[in-house]
Amino acid sequence: MVQFSNRNTYKYFNNKFKPCSKIYFFGDSNNQDLILHYDFYKDLWSKKEVPKNLVLQSYSVAIGLNDGCILITGGLNSSFTNVSGQVYMYNTDNETCTEKASLMQSRYTHSLAHQSNYVYAIGGRSINGVLDLCERYSINLNRWEKIAKLNQKRCTSPAVVFEDSYIYVFGGYEGSGRIDTIEQYDVTNDHWTVLPIKFPLSIEAETATLISANEVVILGGHDNSAGTKDAMILNMETLQFIKLAPMPFARFLHSACYFNNHIYVFGGVDNCSCQKMNVNDYQWTPVASYKDFINYNLQTFSSSSV
């Protein structure tokens, strides 16, 4: 099997991007008193207090910022009757929360991408269905503004930033089925392009994780019948896919994070198991489970590493 990575690639990637050391899971509309914290160094889970002004919703989407704070956006209430536009900034240092400017379009199951001093909210669902609408948040100005629409409506599709100039979204759900298209957003020109290549399968709710300057590992997801164990690597320069050894369990609506040459996966499976994959030999090994705190697949929780 051809491998694109080498030591220089990993050195470049690790020097350019701030590594994470912990991941937070924020409860849903039925678990509004729960924040879970996982320490990558200690392989240890703990529970955090929920700030009184933080209202947790199902299918919110969160993203970590460079200062260690986490932006939590949107969500859906427990009766599925109201979509939130609320935005919160959670400070992981002092475990406090500040409410920020609301989304222009209330949404859930959307994608978030952090580029420069902006956070991009892409697609998702509203009370009326799947969205093609996108907007971006100025961290400095605490303000949202509209950006170009997607070419295809989609939700539950992961996003990654490439070369600090492009945002890619992969697959997703468009209202009547899963899709296999990939769109590229040009940050400078405010323009979405559908790429000529397609996913090997139509899928939503997978994860896409950068492991080097030009490689993305894509894990799991839900095709038109069930969750999958699929694992593949996409080279962002050659736009070629390579299939990897499958995950131990099928997962969708899970979370993935890159730490110390491993990709960790959490949630998305009913047995609450968690694993990590070595990106050098693609072998899977177990890590600690969160099951002592909640016996649930976390599919409706938001999460972010910092």
* 69 falls within a domain: yes
- Residue 277's domain spans which residues? 7-290
How far apart CA 165 and CA 189 sit, in angstroms, is 10
Pairing of strands 35-39, 44-48: antiparallel
Residues 256-291: pLDDT tens digits?
Answer: 999 999 999 999 999 999 999 999 999 999 999 999
* 225 falls within a domain: yes
How far is CA 163 from each of CA 13, 48, 121, 141, 237, rounded to the nearest angstrom?
11, 34, 19, 24, 11
Chain-centre distance for alpha carbon 152: 19
* 122 falls within a domain: yes
* 99 falls within a domain: yes
CATH number reported for the structural domain that contains residue 278 in this entry: 2.120.10.80
Evaluate if residue 8 carries a pLDDT over 50.
no
Record the tokens describing residue 13, joined without a space: 């990637």
Predicted local confidence at residue 3, as pLDDT: 27
How far apart CA 45 and CA 37 sit, in angstroms, is 6
Count: domains in the chain? 1
Predicted local confidence at residue 10, as pLDDT: 35
Measured from the Cβ of residue 41, the count of other Cβ atoms closer than 10 Å reads 9
Evaluate if residue 11 carries a pLDDT over 50.
no
Instruction: Please tell me which residue, 224 or 271, carries the higher pLDDT value.
Output: 271
* 306 falls within a domain: no
Give the DSSP per-residue string, 151-178.
SS--BS--EEEETTTEEEEE--B-SSSB
* 302 falls within a domain: no
* 267 falls within a domain: yes
* 245 falls within a domain: yes
Predicted local confidence at residue 18, as pLDDT: 64
Determine the average pLDDT of the residues in 64-89.
Answer: 97
Q: Please name the amino acid found at residue 252.
A: F
Determine the average pLDDT of the residues in 242-264.
Answer: 97
Chain-centre distance for alpha carbon 189: 24
Alpha-carbon dihedral sign for residues 8, 120, 150, 86: positive
Can you give the pTM of this predicted structure? 0.94
- Nearest Cα to Cα of residue 296 among 266, 263, 258: 266
- Nearest Cα to Cα of residue 115 among 92, 85, 138: 138
- Nearest Cα to Cα of residue 234 among 253, 254, 251, 219: 219
